[in-house]
Structures are given as C-alpha cells and as structure tokens.
C-alpha cells in the first residue's frame, strides 16, 4: 500500500496536483461529452430535441444524486479506515456501497420505465417535446442500473491512490459515448433515442471495466461475497455522510424543474433549450474546480485520520487558491465571448442564439463563486461535518428554486438571468465566514500540538 501511504508523506503541493489532475481531466471529459452531446442534438435534431433532452435532465440529476450519496459517504469512510490501517472495515463499506447501488439502480429503472409520461410532464415537457422525451427517458432508464452503481464506486480508485486509472476509465467511457451518440443521431437517424442508447451502452462497459479491476490482484480493495450481506449500521453511516450531497441533488432537481417551468412559460421549447445550454456550459466550467475539491477529500480524510492537522490545513489552502482562480478566470473568458459560444448550439435558430448570448454572462456568477463554496463544502464532507456541508450545499438551492419561478414572472427573461446573482452571492459570503472559522481552529490545534508546519518546506504552488 505504498501509494496509499504517500497521502500522508508526499509534498502537499505535488500530491494535490497529482490527485487533482486526473480528477479535473475526468470531470472535463464528462462535461465535454455533455457539451458535445447538446451540440449534436441541437444541430442534428433541432431546438425541440434539445428541449426534450433538457426536460429529462432533472431525472438525471436525481439519479446521479443516489450514486453520489453512496459514493461520497463510502469514499469518506473508506479513506478514514485506510488512514487508520483498517482494510477489512474499508472492504465492508465497499461491499455495502456496491450492493446498495445495484438495488437503487434497479428500483429507479422500473419506476422511470413505467411512469415516464407523467414524470416528464412534471419536468415541463409537453406536445412535441414530450413525445420526443418519452423514448429518450425509457431507454435511459435501462442505464440507471449501471450509472448509479458506477457513481457509487466513483471514489474507490482514488482512495486507493490510483487516480490515473480512474481517469483512464473515464476517458474510455466518454469517448465511446460521444462516438456512439454521433453514430446514433447522424448515421442511424435515431434522434434523441440515439443519444440515450449511446449513454446506456458506454456506462455499462465502463462499469464492467472497473469491476474487473476491483476483483484483480492489482486492486488493494475487493468486493467480497461476505460483505454483500446487508449491514444496516454501515449503510446508515454511508447515508449520513452522503446525505448532504444527495439533498443537494434533490434540490438541484427541483431547481432545474423550476427553471424549466419558468423558462418554458416565457419561451416554450426554445426557453427550455436555453436552460439546457446554460446548465451545460456552467457544468463544463465548474467541473475543474469541482475535480480539485473532490480530489482534496480523500487527502483530507486520510490525514485527519492520521492526526496530521498541519497537512490538513495546507491541503485546504492549496485547494481553495486553485479552485477560486480557475473559476474566476473561466467565467471572465466566457463573459467576454458569449456570442461565439451561443452559436455553437444551433445552425438556424437565431432567436435562441440571441437569448443565450445575452443570458450566459449572468450565469457566470455561479462559476466565479464556486471555488469558495465548493471547496468549503467538500472540506466539511471530508472532515465528517455533514451539517456544515449541508448549509452550503443546500442553502443556495433552496433560495434558487423560488427565484426561478418568481423573478421571470416579475422581470421577464431578465429575471431568469438574475437568479445566479441573487442565490450565489449570499452563500459565497457564508462560506467565507465558515472557512475563516475553520482555519483559525486548525491553526489553534497546530499551535497546541507543536506540530511542524508543512508550509515551511512545501509552498502552496509547489507542484514540481
């Protein structure tokens, strides 16, 4: 387990860079697929096709939330157990996460297959958009068994000190996904159903590859039969640690529903398609700082388990600097060239292009502020403070939901653009206050213990 022990001994700047780079690349690859997929649907099917995919997206957010609940909760527990040298306990957590992923995935697939039409109506789809979205959702339902399980295992390679291997699986899955989507839309003329089949096939093959690795001699942790027996105390611990992320996804689903209904009331299919574009671009830009924040988690959990408070503080400071810088710079770049970005998503719908051009700079506020919010919330998750994480992860969403319904009603399309400003700024300030308090607490613990400060030997930007 030499690679695992490096989490507590390697230079902090270099270590965080090594862990963050695969995570960032993996998230970017996934985001780029979503970005390219929207372009393929927009250009190959049209505005109604993009609206159909966007209408189904709240369901995707919700099902991903189940996987993230399992993956975040189990990942933090496994990192802590490995830091304490308790490999057997870590494998028990892995077994319960895998079992839960399969059960939840099967249940979700059945529900979506049976109730696709009423679910999509709730999501804001109607008319032509509804009829296009129904087969898309039913095909995607098959993939829920695989995607929830895959996400539940998302941190397993990283916590073993194998982040590069996780990146390899991510690259394979998303390149295959994009290629199959292009074939399904342009060659087989399957429309949005082609995109759904592409995602389902690619996720199944990706999950298969990860399971083969986990059961090989190269993996430090394995899924063992005896650990698949239901252990309610472990499931409870996983759920408790992953609950803030899951609640965030539930609220994200409600937020997207509110956005669909608010935009749909103003612009019909075109308004819903616009929301899909805003979301796709924002995710593409938020994923790099999110990758850093998530890569930070196992390092924080491991070093906290070891009692290395000085390293915990330095990891936090390095991650905060990087996430904030990336978010601000990427938001400024998009805000300077909104028309060029908007024109990628449609060949002929000039009205849609203009709506996106005007609105996208407003949504960059969320991207610019994500560094402070995302880093602080993931710090609380890694240090097993779910209540504090919940304040940041859930508060912004709770505020955004009514804003997506009320502001467009009051101010028209401008109200839709203003949501990011009204909902993100207050919670960025809350995150700053909470983070300052934690920083002082860590500093006091270091001073009291007399622990050496890694900052003296490992500057914040030293990645070499």
pLDDT in tens, 128-150: 888 888 998 999 888 888 888 88
Task: Locate 53 and state its tokens.
Answer: 């995919």
The reply to whether the predicted model has a pTM over 0.85 is: no
Task: Locate 320 and state its tokens.
Answer: 């905060």
Nearest to 195 by CA among 143, 131, 239: 143
- Please indicate whether residue 24 or residue 290 has the higher confidence score (pLDDT): 290
pLDDT at 115: 92
In contact, 33 and 177? CB cutoff 8 Å:
yes
List phi, psi (to 5°) of 451.
-65, 140
pLDDT at 107: 92
Mean of pLDDT values over 69-89: 81
- Please indicate whether residue 273 or residue 453 has the higher confidence score (pLDDT): 273
Residue 115 neighbours by CB under 8 Å, 6+ apart:
none
Residues 155, 161, 163: CA angle, nearest 5 degrees: 60
Q: Residue 11 carries which DSSP code? A: -
pLDDT in tens, 162-208: 656 766 777 777 788 888 888 988 888 888 888 889 888 988 888 88
pLDDT at 456: 43
pLDDT at 332: 93
Least confident of 8-17, 54-63, 341-350, 426-435: 8-17
Residue 134 neighbours by CB under 8 Å, 6+ apart:
116, 117, 120
pLDDT value at 330 more than 80: yes
């Amino acid at each position: 387990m030499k690679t695992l022990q490096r989490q507590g001994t390697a230079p902090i700047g270099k270590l965080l860079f090594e862990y963050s780079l695969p995570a960032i690349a993996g998230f970017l690859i996934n985001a780029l697929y979503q970005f390219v997929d929207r372009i393929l649907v927009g250009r190959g099917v049209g505005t109604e096709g993009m609206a159909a995919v966007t209408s189904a997206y709240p369901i995707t957010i919700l099902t991903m939330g189940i996987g993230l609940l399992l993956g975040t909760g189990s990942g933090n527990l496994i990192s802590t157990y490995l830091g304490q040298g308790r490999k057997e306990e870590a494998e028990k957590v892995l077994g319960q996460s895998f079992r839960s992923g399969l059960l939840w995935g099967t249940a979700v697939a059945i529900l979506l297959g049976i109730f696709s039409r009423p679910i999509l109506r709730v999501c804001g789809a109607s008319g032509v958009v509804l009829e296009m979205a129904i087969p898309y959702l039913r095909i995607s339902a098959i993939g829920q068994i695989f995607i929830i399980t895959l996400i539940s295992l998302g941190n397993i390679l990283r916590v073993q000190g194998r982040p590069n291997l996780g990146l390899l699986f991510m690259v394979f899955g998303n390149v295959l996904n994009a290629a199959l989507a292009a074939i399904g839309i342009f060659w087989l003329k399957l429309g949005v159903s082609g995109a759904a089949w592409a995602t389902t096939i690619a996720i199944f093959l990706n999950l298969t590859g990860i399971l083969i690795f986990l059961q090989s001699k190269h993996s430090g942790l394995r899924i063992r039969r005896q650990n698949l027996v239901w252990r309610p105390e472990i499931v409870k611990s996983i759920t408790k640690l992953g609950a803030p992320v899951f609640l965030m996804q539930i609220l994200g689903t409600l937020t997207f529903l509110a956005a669909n209904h608010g935009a749909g009331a103003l612009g019909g299919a075109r308004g819903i398609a616009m929301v899909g574009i805003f979301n796709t671009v924002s995710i593409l830009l938020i994923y790099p700082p999110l990758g850093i924040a998530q890569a930070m988690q196992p390092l924080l959990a491991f070093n906290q388990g070891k009692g290395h408070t000085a390293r915990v503080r330095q990891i936090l400071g390095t991650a905060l600097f990087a996430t904030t810088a990336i978010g601000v710079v990427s938001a400024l770049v998009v805000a300077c060239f909104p028309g060029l970005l908007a024109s990628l998503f449609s060949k002929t719908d000039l009205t849609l292009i203009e709506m996106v051009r005007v609105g996208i700079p407003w949504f960059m506020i969320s991207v610019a502020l994500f560094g402070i919010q995302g880093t602080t919330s993931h710090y609380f998750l890694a240090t097993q403070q779910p209540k504090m994480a919940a304040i940041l992860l859930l508060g912004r969403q709770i505020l955004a939901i009514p804003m997506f319904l009320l502001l467009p009603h009051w101010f028209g399309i401008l109200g839709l653009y203003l949501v990011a400003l009204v909902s993100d700024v207050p919670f960025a300030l809350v995150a700053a206050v909470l983070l300052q308090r934690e920083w002082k607490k860590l500093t006091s613990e270091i001073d009291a213990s007399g622990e050496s400060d890694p900052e003296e030997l490992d500057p914040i930007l030293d990645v070499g």
